[in-house]
Chain A
Amino acid sequence: MNLMPEKLIYELSAPGRIGASLPDNDVPATPVPANLSRDSLKLPEVDELSVIRHFTRLSQKNFSIDSHFYPLGSCTMKYNPKVNEQLAGLRGWRDAHPLIGDEFSQGALELIYRLQESLCAIGGFAASSLQPAAGAHGELSGVFVVRAWHVSRGDAKRTKMLIPDSAHGTNPATCTMAGYTTLPVPSDAEGGVDMAALKAALGGAQREEIAGIMITNPNTLGLFDRNIEEIARLVHEAGGLVYGDGANMNAVTGIFKPGNSGIDVMHFNLHKTFSTPHGGGGPGAGFVGVRKDLADFLPGPIAVKKGSGYALAMPSKSIGRVKSFYGNFGVLVRAFAYVRMLGATGLRRLAENAVLNANYLKVKVEKSYKVKYPRRCMHEFVAMGDIAPGIHTLDIAKRLIDYGFHPPTIYFPLIVPEAIMIEPTETEDKETLDAFAEVLAKIADEARTNPDLLHNAPTTTPVGRLDEVAAARSPVLCFKG
């Protein structure tokens, strides 16, 4: 890791420098009218080598999958195959314009169509759209589908969505954007949906107002809800739909098809289960799959078969476009390549190994940390950081950095105090898991014998813990020269 301070690009600037070369103007010049013309443009002036060194040095201040174990729960930080990058960068994709027309875009439409079909096969869905640009965008699309379906049946008063208390924050935030209010459903002692609470929520005066439930299964505790079919039955009986959050699909590809167990609408995050890189925050891509009678409501356009080729089409009662054009196509190329390389058997093997790796790591970590729900887990599990007086999960997370590991997801899910949510993924080997568990055990020792090592961590990084409170109180959000 690069520990040296790095100047801002503006601080590297000197008048007259430039990092790119452009052709001379070869047509008669037309002056820009003075009343429209801009007076000053305060952008940096830097040569190409300095730009390259600057960003290369910055890159060396990051942990990444390519350089470090990155066991972030619910984020599925698996290896991103390099061939996917090469294939997404082909000229035929990069320089393809979205408005050139179906006839001239047959390659892209074939890829979208085949990926729609493949992901439907994996999830057990009848139809799908790849237009959403991310998981939360897929959720928004899916909840709009739920809403449009109810409205189409003259059932517009259904505006309440049930959300288990272990859910990702995007679920309730999505409901708000779709004009819904949310009703939290508590978890039971086993970490699943509390069935009595669910029945009470569905049985009361608001029964006719329930639009559905948003459920993540396996949930964010890394547990598969054994009652999934019963939950779906109860919600359907009350007139609602079941939305599946596919953030944790990595546990069940080839193992379980949500569409076969009563999930009506679901998104997958292609940047999790389907190996596309996270890019420091994005881009992702969202797939939304639905049961047959919801197909007409999907966001579009979607790719369809037409004669011997492919075409774009808008579903007949579509909720509309959720983005310009057809989704994060470059991300779709990567996911398609991945699904093709794994195939039916490989997809099952990935989930098997993701779950095996998590269970193996859990058994090792349990020796030094409490695990809130000691049942067998799926692809991730949630440990707790209250291992010594005065020690918090944050301290453990920061100390892990000193040992060269990216911290797990912390303080989530909200229902587990001092949560440490660990997802190793299938692409890690046994030695890495062993080393990580050993370091966690060592940190647990340090917590008791030398807690300052934890409180002062990290010490091996370009900066120590940063004062986030001060940063938010008087925000500096741009370089001020």
Chain B
Amino acid sequence: MPFIANSDADRKAMLAAVGVSSIEELFTDIPSAKRFPKLALPEGISELEVTREIEAMAANNLNASSCAWFLGAGAYNHFIPAAVGAISSRGEFLTAYTPYQPEVSQGTLQAIFEYQSMAAELLGMEVVNASHYDGATALAEAVLMAWNHGGSRKKVFLPTALHPEYRDVIRTYFAAFDVQFVEYAGEPSSAAVDETTSCVVCAYPDFEGRVRDLKAGAEKAHAAGALFIVHADPIMCAILKSPGELGADIVTAEGQALGNAMNFGGPWLGMMGATAKLMRKMPGRIVGQAQDHEGRRGFVLTLTAREQHIRREKAVSNICSNQGLVMLQACVYMALMGKNGMRQVAELCWNKAHYAASEIAKLPGFKVPVLDKAAAGAFFKEFVVTTPIPAAAIVDKLSRASVVPGLALSKYDPKRTHELLVCVTEMNTKAQIDLLATSLKEAAK
């Protein structure tokens, strides 16, 4: 039997030690009519057979490594150095539990502390926790945190250009609570905040790729006594001002882009940072520096009086398992890239996206609204293209030719038939971008 060490002889000796004559006797507490039901499953197969079966299934997915890939919209195709996987696949990290016993978990704990330090710098926050399930759940918990903090303030402002799945997750999380969601279009400073507002959420950049004016948004929210929450692209934060610098109280991010594969949507990394003032209201695990009796530096899980295993129904969140290994991958990624590598990746995304936008804007029938002088908009690695024929038709046609041009926005809003969200990263060569432009032109003919 795979993964069971004991032999029949071992089992016999162990049953004798327990004082029963058969394994079945161990289960007499279970209602007899319900004991040992038939499982409608096939019998087990070998490692070789399961490898063949799953390899065949994996081959039935179109994947970014075999295409010119311009689809982002929340999941990003970035370069992952080999050293990231080499570290995260080490059994000592991979098969350890949550570091509740600090003396035998210093590896995991110090890595979390280093992640917290680097992520805090990137996002411009004073405290970062050890992760949420993904960017969407991190943002939902950030809004919950602000809503709880706000007491009787029931209003939450969300941008219209928030990732639609994030909006859905926030709504799910608030199913049982008395909250009033208000949507605002454009700049966060346009949100009609008042004394009943708990927070204003802004995406940086927003779902359509636009970089919004956080500073003005934060000032307006703060003037009304509300918190300002920013959901940021962590790669972009390497070259643009950090959300913290611009006044955010809570920052969330999807850390998938930091050295983690797209994995068909998960496991990813929900990042959350906050100001020191809000630290004790923050959900999730946090690691702090400590000393032992000999004065040696070590690391421990800290501020645990916020968490479910201590506070039960009074905890700030129910989160327990998080995305530890994905966080480790982001930590190793940031360590490898460092100050200059992070900037380089961000600049490559910026330059290539701007080149792609300008090339596409030259195509007959195509427009890139963010480039309009009147719009005075800034963007990072994604931008919306208006298309002469339905965008979904273009995506369908080109994907079959291994050029995946982006997301047809009709996926989330059936009315937006002629809009394509294009994403360009350091993975895209100039030749691929030129191929995208000629392919779009051909497809629209």
* Other-chain residue from A20, A67, A430 in contact with B6 (beta carbon distance below 8 A): A430
Query: Which residues of chain A are within 8 angstroms of B59 by Cβ–Cβ distance?
Result: 92, 107
A224 within 8 A of B: yes
A435 within 8 A of B: no
Distance, CA A27 to CA B123, complexed state (A): 28
In the complex, chain A residues 1-55 whose Cβ is within 8 Å of any chain B Cβ: 1, 5-6, 8-10, 13, 17-20, 22-23, 25-30, 32-33, 36-38, 41-46, 48, 51-52, 54-55
**Whole-angstrom distance from the CB of B3 to the nearest CB of chain A?**
5
B411 touches A478 (CB 8 A): no
Distance, CA A464 to CA B136, complexed state (A): 39
Q: Which residue of B lies closest to A319 (CB)?
A: B172
Query: Which residues of chain B are within 8 angstroms of A105 by Cβ–Cβ distance?
Result: 61-62, 264
A91 touches B58 (CB 8 A): yes
In the complex, chain B residues 119-153 whose Cβ is within 8 Å of any chain A Cβ: 120-122, 126-128, 130-131, 133-137, 144
Q: Knowing A43-B338, A45-B340, A271-B321 touch, does A299 contact B262 (C-beta < 8 A)?
A: no
* Other-chain residue from A46, A63, A254 in contact with B338 (beta carbon distance below 8 A): A46
Distance, CA A476 to CA B355, complexed state (A): 43
B1 within 8 A of A: yes
B37 touches A475 (CB 8 A): no
Chain B positions 96 through 116: 1 when the CB is less than 8 Å from some CB of chain A, otherwise 0: 111101111111101101101
Distance, CA A255 to CA B341, complexed state (A): 53
A348 touches B71 (CB 8 A): no
Q: Which residue of B lies closest to A353 (CB)?
A: B4
A327 within 8 A of B: yes
Q: Knowing A29-B351, A144-B172 touch, does A36 contact B241 (C-beta < 8 A)?
A: yes
**Whole-angstrom distance from the CB of A413 to the nearest CB of chain B?**
11
Distance, CA A435 to CA B445, complexed state (A): 75
Binds B, one of A72-80, A197-205, A384-392, A441-449: A72-80
Distance, CA A428 to CA B3, complexed state (A): 9
Binds A, one of B186-194, B326-334, B360-368: B326-334
Q: Knowing A41-B238, A44-B335 touch, does A471 contact B399 (C-beta < 8 A)?
A: no
A476 touches B289 (CB 8 A): yes
B50 within 8 A of A: yes
Query: Which residues of chain A are within 8 angstroms of B292 by Cβ–Cβ distance?
Result: 463-467
A450 within 8 A of B: no
Q: Which residue of A lies closest to B314 (CB)?
A: A176
Distance, CA A101 to CA B166, complexed state (A): 19
Distance, CA A260 to CA B103, complexed state (A): 44
Chain B positions 39 through 77: 1 when the CB is less than 8 Å from some CB of chain A, otherwise 0: 111111111001101111111111111000101011101
Binds A, one of B195-203, B221-229, B305-313, B382-390: B305-313
Query: Which residues of chain B are within 8 angstroms of A8 by Cβ–Cβ distance?
Result: 110, 113-114, 117
A333 touches B54 (CB 8 A): yes
Distance, CA A337 to CA B50, complexed state (A): 6
Distance, CA A44 to CA B169, complexed state (A): 35
Chain B positions 222 through 265: 1 when the CB is less than 8 Å from some CB of chain A, otherwise 0: 00000000000000011111100100000000100000011111
B294 within 8 A of A: yes
Query: Which residues of chain B are within 8 angstroms of A10 by Cβ–Cβ distance?
Result: 114, 117
Chain B positions 138 through 181: 1 when the CB is less than 8 Å from some CB of chain A, otherwise 0: 00000010000000000000000001011011011101110000
Chain A positions 222 through 243: 1 when the CB is less than 8 Å from some CB of chain B, otherwise 0: 0110101100000000000000
Distance, CA A282 to CA B130, complexed state (A): 10
* Other-chain residue from A135, A255, A350, A428 in contact with B35 (beta carbon distance below 8 A): A255
B277 within 8 A of A: no
A81 touches B2 (CB 8 A): yes
Chain A positions 164 through 179: 1 when the CB is less than 8 Å from some CB of chain B, otherwise 0: 0000111011111111
Chain A positions 54 through 93: 1 when the CB is less than 8 Å from some CB of chain B, otherwise 0: 1110111111111110101001011111010111011111
A284 touches B36 (CB 8 A): no
* Other-chain residue from B107, B303, B318, B348 in contact with A140 (beta carbon distance below 8 A): B318
A323 touches B134 (CB 8 A): yes
A463 touches B103 (CB 8 A): yes
* Other-chain residue from A63, A330, A352, A429 in contact with B267 (beta carbon distance below 8 A): A330
**Whole-angstrom distance from the CB of B50 to the nearest CB of chain A?**
5
B15 within 8 A of A: yes
B342 within 8 A of A: yes
A348 touches B50 (CB 8 A): no
B337 touches A106 (CB 8 A): no
B107 touches A58 (CB 8 A): yes
Known: A340-B50, A461-B104, A472-B303. 9 other contacts (CB 8 A): A52-B87, A87-B54, A228-B31, A279-B93, A283-B321, A324-B163, A376-B29, A462-B298, A478-B126
Contacts A/B (CB < 8 Å), 20 sampled: A18-B341, A20-B83, A25-B347, A64-B92, A72-B97, A87-B55, A170-B320, A176-B318, A279-B94, A281-B322, A342-B3, A343-B43, A407-B101, A430-B6, A466-B298, A471-B289, A471-B290, A475-B302, A477-B279, A478-B121
Give the 10 A-B residue pairs with the shortest CB-CB distance, closest first. Answer: A179-B176, A325-B265, A281-B324, A66-B91, A279-B325, A92-B58, A343-B44, A107-B60, A98-B265, A429-B5
